[in-house]
Structure 1
């Protein structure tokens, strides 16, 4: 499978490769709509272009076009049984749309191909959290965080897990880490507000004698 993947890569026609590179350039300039034209040209020139279908799917995701994104990502998955990237991307799309029971097996398939992928673990944990399998989600998310502690969304996922488990000291750490990594994100104000609430809860708990007495 790996050798076949290498062979296919060398067969990509120059026109298709050039269109793909132009698509990547547009993507790097935060222009998903502009990138789509080039990725579509790339697959027209070379219908077995896994990377181009994958990037098309990501572009559609950024544009909020879920049905087109799913179609492109599924096409990429169908083209290569030995690549994990599109599996994780489709799992992400499905979780974004609350389709957790469909996302979970895709994330697991991707991790069978690359068991060391922190991103794959993140997507699996997201799906499991959506399925209310909180303990398993926590274990996998913590493993992912060990591999990449600088990914803000991992800390946010763990924050949601710790909210469910009423583990406020851990939640405070999650929110501190998230705000340090992503102080200006769209959800940072909400995270700050939640952090203040958690601090108040912890302060109130410290003022309860029974809570003090039960401390180790």
Structure 2
């Protein structure tokens, strides 16, 4: 193919009052049943485990089960996030911050129409780089001036309501007031990327990487923006730096694999798409890309298996129709299996 693509809660009697109160609040928000409502919402709050302080500017990614990334945002100054106007179905929410363990939650919104997630991020004690480095800029919020923080909150709220340009304006003012405002930089870049303004996204992300050189999320996003701009050498450099910090970043491997596919370097792309599938076997697009690679290297039978897995995971995916056509064509070229 020519085109290349990408939660019974049990409360213990000895639970702390603070956590019990949080859980009760979660129940009030979560258990909302309304079969007549066609759209659903996912909201939540992220805190840093230990001191339980709100985790501002943390990256939250929404995925469709088996269907890849749907949306992403940064938490506001109170650590809150909100995905609205979703269709009923099953979703996955990934919460990540540099030097903290990624928290992955599966959310089923078929009977209920609103889900609330309480996320406590635990420090990553397995990474030597994190153990040796100071707290990442994304986890340090005390230095941000109040006026910049207010602009960030307004921008985040506007983006959550779908008011992209209003949100971008507030976020730009936030980083003008405080140029090292990492959370605002990431959210501003995300808004630019959703609007396909790749040059603007690249500029903001380059500044974000200067603010926090250890942010894998910023490096991966920068690499993707540069790939979109066909700056392949620079994209490869950014993504390689991200993977040096965290080789378990499936997003980084996927993006780097796509860089190599865009530049017809199939042999270089293959191990990165393979690693993506090892880390995230339910990512439909990775199976599609894997099929493309196998077809290019003359292994149609193995390519067929990857295409069939893509269709199983994303039967109504963007590329489902042409993939079905390709599957039928491949089947006709393969020798029929004889019954023993």
TM-score clears 0.5: yes
Q: What is residue 153 of structure 1 aligned with on the other side?
A: 285
Q: Which moved more, 1:90-99 or 1:64-73?
A: 90-99
Contact 1:33 1:63 in 2 (8 A): no
- Gapped regions of structure 1 (runs ≥ 5): none
Specify the SS of the correspondent of 1:197: helix
Q: Determine if contact 1:88/1:107 at 8 Å carries over to the other structure.
A: yes
**Number of paired residues?**
206
Matches within 5 A, 1:64-103: 64-103=196-235
How far has the Cα of 1:25 moved from its partner? 4.3
SS in 1 for 2:142: helix
Match of 2:239 among 96, 100, 107: 107
The Cα shift of 1:28 comes to 4.6
Moved more, 146-155 or 126-135: 126-135
Question: Per chain length, whose mean CA-contact separation is higher, i.e. which structure has more relative contact order (CA < 8 Å, sep 6+)?
Answer: 2
Q: Is residue 2:152 matched to residue 1:20?
A: yes
Task: Give unpaired runs (5+ residues) of structure 2.
Answer: 1-132
Deviations 1:31-82 (A, max 9, x none): 5444323322322332211222122222112212222111111111122211
Q: How many angstroms apart in 2 are the aligned matches of 1:32 and 1:2? A: 34
Contact kept, 8 Å, 2:136 with 2:212, in 1: the verdict is: no
Bigger fraction of residues in strand: 2
State TM-score, norm by structure 1: 0.81
CA distance in 1, matches of 2:295, 2:165: 37
Q: Over aligned residues, Cα RMSD in angstroms?
A: 2.5
Shift of 1:109: 0.4
Q: TM-score, normalised by structure 2?
A: 0.54
1:5 pairs, out of 137, 143, 152, with 137
Give the Cα separation in 1 of the matches to 2:274 and 2:242: 18
Counterpart-to-counterpart distance in 1, 2:331 and 2:162: 37
Once the 2 structures are TM-superposed, how far is the Cα of residue 110 of structure 1 from its aligned partner? Answer: 0.6
Map of 1:58-207 to 2, 5 A cutoff?
Answer: 58-202=190-334, 205-206=335-336
Higher helix residue share: 1
Cα distance between partner residues in 1 of 2:150 and 2:282: 33
SS at structure 1 position matched to 2:282: coil
